[in-house]
Amino acid sequence: MSCKKGDTGPQGDPGPAGAPFALKEGGFIQGTISGNRSDGTPFNLSFNYKKYYGADGFYSDPFNSNYSFSLHRYLSSDPLVPGDCYLDFNLPSLSSTSPFSVHFEGDFYMDLGSNQTFHLNIYQWSSSPIIVSGFSYNSSSHVAQGSFSANLFGGDNSTGNPATVSGSFQSLAMTEYLSRIGN
């Protein structure tokens, strides 16, 4: 037996035009990363990511004295343009200025000219301690801000070499999610 293709049917009506999807701007994670690329060439990469998709996270569990914050920012309002970074940390109380369990990761890009781009991926696995300083949280506006720094081990980034990162952050007004203990 054999099958053959039949005639093509008539063209259907066009669908509605889609609205372009764009990320919003607010808050930031900015800083500088320096070290040596995989080939040993020194680099000094600045970043300032201001775009976001979803609200910054603020999760409270007052029964266990734990408050968690998370910020995720993108390089561009176009979600197809690569580049993002993520910062999260915990506080023992809302009046504390000493965050703990700090995690930082991201994809960073630097134009080298001649159609070449240096791509740095930081996938900090908590082996390099990240220090948050100058932290403040305004319980009225729900805005968190501060500075961060770390000496990254070679295994914490795509160069395989140690690097340093320092910068600052400011959240948007955060929505609080409360954890409750069941009965």
Q: Which domains does the chain have, with CATH numbers?
A: 24-178 (2.40.128)
Model confidence band, residue 92 (pLDDT cutoffs 50, 70, 90)? confident
Model confidence band, residue 44 (pLDDT cutoffs 50, 70, 90)? very high
- Percent of the residues in the chain that have a pLDDT greater than 90, as a whole number: 43
Structure tokens at 183: 């009965």
Per residue in 97-117, pLDDT (tens digit) is 888 888 899 999 999 999 999
Per-residue DSSP letter, 63? G
154: helix, strand or coil: helix
pTM: 0.81
Task: Say which residues have a Cβ less than 8 Å from residue 12's Cβ, sequence separation at least 6.
Answer: none
Are the CB atoms for 170 and 30 separated by under 8 Å? Answer: no
Model confidence band, residue 155 (pLDDT cutoffs 50, 70, 90)? confident
Model confidence band, residue 18 (pLDDT cutoffs 50, 70, 90)? low
Task: Say which residues have a Cβ less than 8 Å from residue 163's Cβ, sequence separation at least 6.
Answer: 33, 34, 35, 36, 120, 122, 151, 152, 156, 157
